[in-house]
Chain A
């Protein structure tokens, strides 16, 4: 039983590497004292350890609170790598995603507007070539032109609007991510 407790404390000491040595020793000592008190009060060791949480989670809580208090804990290794990956990844992704979505939204949106206009003009006879009105290589009776163009317009509007919504939510997500980056570096 004592071995389980000692192992927990050793794990905790290892996970608390990022704290200054004094703080780390003190924390490990205090948790050891807590375990002893809890066992003396009759609580089973397994329950005590589960109430404390895993050594990793407990250490994270210590470190997070240390950040909160902006002490001499410096961001290291894993945290910085994660930040760098996010910034690089999001930057690269944005180069592809943003223009793509923006172009789709714009072109489909403009098409949605232009198509009915063309349809009206065709119905009124202002636009036609020698074969009459053609859509996708087949002649179309004038009476169908306007409904057809309206249908096309709706579809394009849907696609354009969808692309716009996607772009917007992507941008918001990225912004939120950068805010977290800022908090992690400044905090």
Chain B
């Protein structure tokens, strides 16, 4: 993973986590594409181009983590609804567990570094 500056890093990190966030949203209840866009849009830090989401959904479907069904809609054209498969549920719980471990480690490391930086400022 090459990250040459902040922007690159943020984009890469988001891309890695997007899959997990999408699975989590679908786990909550079956959703269609635009619903996921709005769901993710609640958090600034998760903003991503819509163009990233749909290929991701296709891949998750091909991998068997989510299943899709087209449903008629009264509000417009039919919508493609996604729901989690047992395989997807397994992936989500494994990835979620990993994430919590990672998040804890990173948070503690950052706290340590901030404490050190504050100490150096005080000593200077």
Contact = CB atoms under 8 A, between A and B. Distances in A.
Nearest to B78: A33
Contact of A68 (B33, B34, B49, B59): B59
Contacts, number: 70
A36 B38 CA distance: 14
Contact of A62 (B55, B76, B77): B55
Contacts of A32: 77
Q: Interface of chain A, helix or strand or loop or mixed?
A: helix
Contact of B33 (A33, A57, A71): A33
B51 A33 contact: no
A58 B50 CA distance: 9
B79 A65 contact: no
A37 B49 contact: no
Interface stretch (A23-31, A140-148, A152-160): A23-31
A62 B58 contact: yes
Interface in A2-58: 23, 26-27, 29-34, 36-38, 40-41, 48, 51-53, 57-58
Interface residues of B, number: 22
Interface in B41-63: 49-52, 54-56, 58-59, 62-63
B80 interface: yes
Interface string A69-92: 101000000000000000000000
B51 A37 contact: no
Contacts of B49: 51-53
A58 B57 CA distance: 13
Contacts of A37: 32-34, 76, 79
Nearest to A67: B59
Contacts of A48: 50
A41 B76 CA distance: 12
Contacts of A29: 78, 80
Contacts of B79: 33, 37
A66 interface: yes
B63 A69 contact: yes
Given A34-B33, A69-B63, A27 B75 contact: no
Nearest to B62: A69
7 contacts: A27-B54, A27-B58, A33-B79, A41-B38, A52-B51, A58-B51, A64-B55
Interface of A: 23, 26-27, 29-34, 36-38, 40-41, 48, 51-53, 57-58, 61-62, 64-66, 68-69, 71
Interface of B: 32-34, 37-38, 49-52, 54-56, 58-59, 62-63, 75-80
Given A53-B49, A65-B56, 16 more contacts: A29-B80, A30-B33, A30-B80, A33-B76, A33-B80, A34-B50, A34-B54, A37-B34, A37-B76, A38-B37, A51-B50, A52-B50, A53-B50, A61-B51, A62-B55, A64-B55
